[in-house]
Structure 1
Amino acid sequence: MADDSRLARLRGLVAESGHGAMFVSDLVNLRYLTGFTGSNGALLVPTEHDPVFLTDGRYRDQAAAELGAAGLGDVEIVVTRDLIGVAAGRAPADLVAETHLIDVDSWEKLGRPEASGRLVERLREIKDDSEIAALRRACEISCSALEALLIGPLAGRTEREVARDLEWRMLELGAEDRAFDTILASGENSAIPHHQPTDRQLRAGDLVKIDFGARVDGYHADCTRTVVIGPAADWQREIHAAVRESQAAGLDRLRPGVPVAESNTAARGSLERAGWLDAFTTGLGHGVGLQIHEDPFIAAAHPGRLASRTVLTMEPGIYLPGRGGVRIEDTVLVTDPDHGGEPDVLTDMTTELLEID
């Protein structure tokens, strides 16, 4: 739930940048700051005056209710069809805006504001207690749904059927929605990182890669497990073990104060030593929260250090075109140093290679 402390922190960052106000128009950032879930809104955040929320007549009552629930009942709500124009008329000359997201016409109408530098996204990297609780619940639902799915026989069912079954189980367990379109890839399709489920039937000998997650209170879970139908072949065991070891190496570096790039180095180094680095063709991990992919992104070029209460994924993989692939992915909370700094894996489910019917 949003609260005034988020707006206060944003106001402080804007003041530190030497500007007088920020214009926020991204709907995800609006939800984070105010609790608003509608499809049209904006927020003007001056450093020396109260914020102003702008929306159209469709969302008059919704905005009042959601801002009130977020503890922002005193924020002025302006109902208008010209959000940009009204904001421009009330903003100081030294305005910053989300120039990485707005179009050129809006930028011109706002008076060509300077770039805000992803200030809200920086705030969103550090999760508060309510956010962590929602993420934890989304991950619990996800794991429970998959564990129940894997009890029943999968051989003979189609990728599409199994994917829909998993999504329905998450809804039945209390998810408000799936976090994203489920990736259910079997056999040779498991070598395709973002395969879309088809009518291919699962059969004995298949690797089955399942990338999925539930959404709770707007917050996303992200988890991948790879299983095999029937007894696993030696090559399947080999690549699964290599991915599992790579993930463990990367997870070990998800600690407060550690450079983000170190987890990338550790996970890739493990795959290189095993001889499989060339078969890892995707990113290693990313932040997750109100969006399924958000800052920070784990990469060799990332200049920053991990902060406690950041939530990220760790998802190495091996993809062998025409044969099959393995990915193991978890959603992980970087914990406070006072708690030992041990990574807290929110998708708490075995990563062993499961042989199922």
Structure 2
Amino acid sequence: MSTAARRTRLARELADRGLDGLFVTTLVNVRYLTGFTGSNGALLVPAEGDAVFLTDGRYRDQADAELPDLEHVITRDLLGGMAERTHPGTYGIESHTLSVDAHARLVELMAASSLRSAGRVVESLREVKDDAEVAALRSACDISTRALEQVLAGRLVGRTERQVARELENTMLDLGAEAIAFDTILASGPNTAIPHHSPTDRVLATGDLLKADFGARVDGYHADCTRTVVLGRADDWQREVHAAVRESQAAGLELLRDGVAVAASDTAARASLEAAGWLEAFTTGLGHGVGLEIHEDPFVSGTHAGKLTSRTVLTMEPGIYVPGRGGVRIEDTVLVTAGAPEVLTTMTKDLLEIG
């Protein structure tokens, strides 16, 4: 789907909501609607008529190259520039990201109009991916898993968490990633009990659990994958915990289907952990959407009131974390379909014993 088609969808949604237009000030939403990859920009999308893109002089040439189908306004006053191109009416704002000061200025600039929160209207459109988005996500996931497989085939014991994390990131870049999706979580031994551990100079040792939460970024789209392995032979406790997490993930994955309640997956995954006696050790969220942001709508929880839609991409990542001892997480990036969900991070989830 072209960016113009995305803007058309948004304009229809605005008209349905009784809005004359939307001030798009969230940069990732500007990118989704225009293709602009710079660091300063805004977009005025009217319910009727053509959208207008605004940025400052640093991005004049970039805007010409990336947005040939849009009118460009070059100004350092993005809010003022948008306000000047409106007529009296009712306009939506992205109140979840717009600052208090920016809102106050818009109220002043739009004295003849009214402003209303449009909620997460663009984010809701972003939940369902088009063919180009799915292709970028597939590529990012493929690069990610191939990179980890290469790293695990090399020497690990005797190296530090930080060294292995950097090798994993560099391997993703060597395989074609434009960037890493987020700061790599590489944890060993008791550090695996910390859900979002930052790599340290701890030296990997035989008998350690090793947890890698990582991803590549391709064309702006993020992969998210976690695998937990053992350096050497796994003991009974490590096998038990890994099996419990894998069974929980399978239960949650089964319900990532078109038309199924988002909360159903959360309920199933937690019920599996509870049956295994490990629910209290699961202290994080179960999953989230992934795309132009590493964490985006929808977020998988027992309180989510909506249903899944085909071509939504999200993660499934149960875990068990026992402070002082260790932890296991298994995470996949998953494409929701009308049938069985398609796992995009295709690396094995068996408990690998490395070395």
| TM-score for both structures, normalised by structure 2 | 0.97
Moved over 3 A (4+): none
Measure how far apart 1:2 and its partner are.
4.6
Q: Name the CA distance, whole Å, in 2 between partners of 1:192 and 1:106.
A: 38
Q: Name the CA distance, whole Å, in 2 between partners of 1:153 and 1:64.
A: 48
Letter in 2 for 1:101: T
Which runs of structure 2 are paired with 1:233-312 in the superposition (5 Å)? 233-312=235-314
Measure how far apart 1:153 and its partner are.
2.1
Calculate the aligned-residue CA RMSD, in Å.
0.9
Q: Name the CA distance, whole Å, in 2 between partners of 1:40 and 1:168.
A: 28
Q: Name the CA distance, whole Å, in 2 between partners of 1:6 and 1:197.
A: 39
Measure how far apart 1:81 and its partner are.
1.2
Partner of 1:157: 159
Superimposed CA distance per residue, residues 42-84 of structure 1 (whole angstroms, 9 cap, x where no aligned partner): 100111221111111111111121113xxxx2x2111111110
Partner of 1:89: 84
Measure how far apart 1:17 and its partner are.
0.5
Q: Name the CA distance, whole Å, in 1 between partners of 2:7 and 2:138.
A: 24
Q: Name the CA distance, whole Å, in 1 between partners of 2:2 and 2:61.
A: 18
Contact conserved, 1:19 with 1:96, CA < 8 A, in 2? yes
Q: What percentage of aligned pairs have identical amino acids?
A: 68
Tell whether 2:198 aligns with 1:196: yes
Partner of 2:332: 330
Tell me the SS of whatever aligns to 2:67: helix
Letter in 1 for 2:96: H
Which runs of structure 2 are paired with 1:130-169 in the superposition (5 Å)? 130-169=132-171
Partner of 1:212: 214
Measure how far apart 1:89 and its partner are.
2.1
Contact conserved, 1:153 with 1:356, CA < 8 A, in 2? no
Match of 2:174 among 160, 172, 175: 172
Superimposed CA distance per residue, residues 293-330 of structure 1 (whole angstroms, 9 cap, x where no aligned partner): 00000001100000000000000000010000000000
Contact conserved, 1:158 with 1:199, CA < 8 A, in 2? yes
Partner of 1:224: 226
Measure how far apart 1:100 and its partner are.
1.0
Letter in 1 for 2:189: G
Structure 2 residues not aligned, in runs of 5+: 108-113
Letter in 2 for 1:91: T
Letter in 2 for 1:94: T
Partner of 1:353: 351
Structure 1 residues not aligned, in runs of 5+: none
Measure how far apart 1:109 and its partner are.
2.0
Partner of 1:23: 23
Tell me the SS of whatever aligns to 1:308: coil
Contact conserved, 1:145 with 1:170, CA < 8 A, in 2? yes
Q: Name the CA distance, whole Å, in 1 between partners of 2:253 and 2:171.
A: 28
Q: Name the CA distance, whole Å, in 1 between partners of 2:135 and 2:345.
A: 13
Q: Name the CA distance, whole Å, in 2 between partners of 1:234 and 1:243.
A: 14
Tell whether 2:98 aligns with 1:102: yes
Q: How many residues align?
A: 348
Tell me the SS of whatever aligns to 1:286: strand
Letter in 2 for 1:355: E
Contact conserved, 1:154 with 1:162, CA < 8 A, in 2? yes
Letter in 2 for 1:82: D
Q: Name the CA distance, whole Å, in 2 between partners of 1:161 and 1:2.
A: 41
Letter in 1 for 2:152: L
Which runs of structure 2 are paired with 1:306-321 in the superposition (5 Å)? 306-321=308-323
Q: Name the CA distance, whole Å, in 1 between partners of 2:52 and 2:10.
A: 14
Superimposed CA distance per residue, residues 180-220 of structure 1 (whole angstroms, 9 cap, x where no aligned partner): 00000000000000000000000011000100000000000
Tell me the SS of whatever aligns to 1:113: strand
Partner of 2:111: none
Tell me the SS of whatever aligns to 2:187: strand
Q: Name the CA distance, whole Å, in 2 between partners of 1:50 and 1:218.
A: 25
Partner of 1:343: 341
Q: Name the CA distance, whole Å, in 2 between partners of 1:192 and 1:91.
A: 50
Q: Name the CA distance, whole Å, in 2 between partners of 1:48 and 1:196.
A: 48
